[in-house]
Amino acid sequence: MKCIILAAGYATRLYPLTKNKAKPLLEVAGKPILNHIIDKVEKVDSIDEVYIVTNEKFTPSFQGWVQSYQGNKQIIVVNDHTTTNTNRLGAIADMQYVLEEHGINEDLLVLAGDNLFDFELTDFVHFYQEVKADCVTTHMIHDEEEMKQTGIAEVNEAGIIVSFEEKPSKPKSNIAVPPFYIYQAETVSLIKQYVKEGNNPDAPGNFIPWLIERKPVYAYAFEGLCYDIGTIESYNKIQELYRGE
């Protein structure tokens, strides 16, 4: 299994903190957000390579981070060669870029580089191995404004996603889908097809409604919280939460 960490955004809503620093390299509880994520990736034995896809501006920062990395995974920094928020590729196009540049045709764990989470990736991978199908993570949220800022799914009794909408104005459920996914090797070609058809390449959740029309996608319902670091306010809140642990 390969892992792709999405880190090619410019995080303009977090300026000035991210004007010259990539969001995944901002510190929470004394270490970069990326370290918190990698600590969990480290526990997944089946992952042998981790691809951090970023932009021209922050490639040197991530390369510097890799040089100081002490873990046992092979980490490759991929420069998508975009230079501004205006010409960015979008998360799904970035996935496709990595897949094509590195000839990847294996199972794939995809993670956002700016989300912290309580659950263990090992549990998510075990679930994937049991259902033998593409999987997304889900958890329940109860704040309607929060629902409008994330992916929202409907799930049937078998645990399969039957509908999905990214940032809905009228959420159909309170089942949120944060940006953590596992795709089968056979789905890799579908990611490429999705982009080449001209579909929305931006938020990674946009791929899900297209995918569920073609094959079953299971929901892994995790316990605990997930923290999306999108604004200065959310970053400050997470700093306080982690400081209190």
d(CA 115, CA 92): 17
Q: In this model, does residue 73 exceed pLDDT 90? A: yes
Average pLDDT over residues 66-88: 93
Q: In this model, does residue 241 exceed pLDDT 90? A: no
Q: In this model, does residue 122 exceed pLDDT 70? A: yes
From the list 173, 171, 179, the residue with the least C-alpha distance to 137 is 179
pLDDT tens figures, 12-28:
889 998 999 999 999 99
pTM summary value: 0.95
pLDDT value of position 244: 64
pLDDT value of position 7: 97
pLDDT value of position 9: 92
Domains and CATH numbers, the chain: 2-243 (3.90.550.10)
Angle, helix 33-41 to helix 121-131, in steps of 10 degrees: 40
**Bridge partners, residue 140, by sequence:** 175
Q: In this model, does residue 245 exceed pLDDT 60? A: no
pLDDT tens figures, 43-62:
999 999 999 999 999 999 99
Q: In this model, does residue 107 exceed pLDDT 70? A: yes
pLDDT value of position 80: 96
Q: In this model, does residue 144 exceed pLDDT 90? A: no
pLDDT tens figures, 156-212:
999 999 999 998 889 899 999 999 999 999 999 999 999 999 999 998 999 999 999
Enclosing H/E stretch for 126 = helix 121-131
pLDDT value of position 85: 85
Q: In this model, does residue 149 exceed pLDDT 90? A: no
DSSP 8-state class, residue 105 = -
d(CA 193, CA 188): 9
Hunting for tokens 């040197």 — which residue is that? 60
* Inter-residue contact 212 to 136 (CB < 8 Å): no
pLDDT value of position 143: 86
